Amino acid sequence: MLAILDVVMLVLNLYTWVIIASAIFSWLYAFNIVNPSNQFVSMIGQALYSLTEPALRPIRRIMPNMGGLDLSPVVLLIGIFFIQNVIARYVYPNVF
């Protein structure tokens, strides 16, 4: 059971970094810092989009329009941190 919880915590931690990378990449793309016609850049952007969009889409539907400001990654990160905190405080101590 402890190994499963360690894997869940690791996956949540890695997904946190994927969300942060996706947000930074979207800023770089929006401010035209990266070349969107470059095939490698396009491939990275598509991979980050396909990894994060299934989790961000339901949050975007619920949240109100903030005038071009997308706060759905922040909401998702808060949710991931909450899940990690619940696992660390309540599930880990009860495993032993």
Q: Does the residue 96 lie in any domain?
A: no
Average pLDDT over residues 9-33: 96
Domain count along the chain: 1
At residue 39, the pLDDT reads: 96
Question: Which residues 6+ apart lie within 8 Å of 87 measured at CB?
Answer: 5, 8, 9
pLDDT in tens, 30-60: 999 999 899 999 999 999 999 999 999 999 9
- For residue 31, what are the domain limits? 2-91
Q: Please give the angle made by the CA atoms of 13, 9 and 71, to the nearest 5 degrees.
A: 40
Residue 50 lies in a domain: yes
**DSSP 3-state of 95:** coil
pLDDT at 96 over 80: no
Percent with pLDDT over 90 in the chain: 86
pLDDT of residue 67: 86
- Is 38 contained in some domain? yes
71-86 mean pLDDT: 97
Q: What average pLDDT does range 61-70 have in this prediction?
A: 90
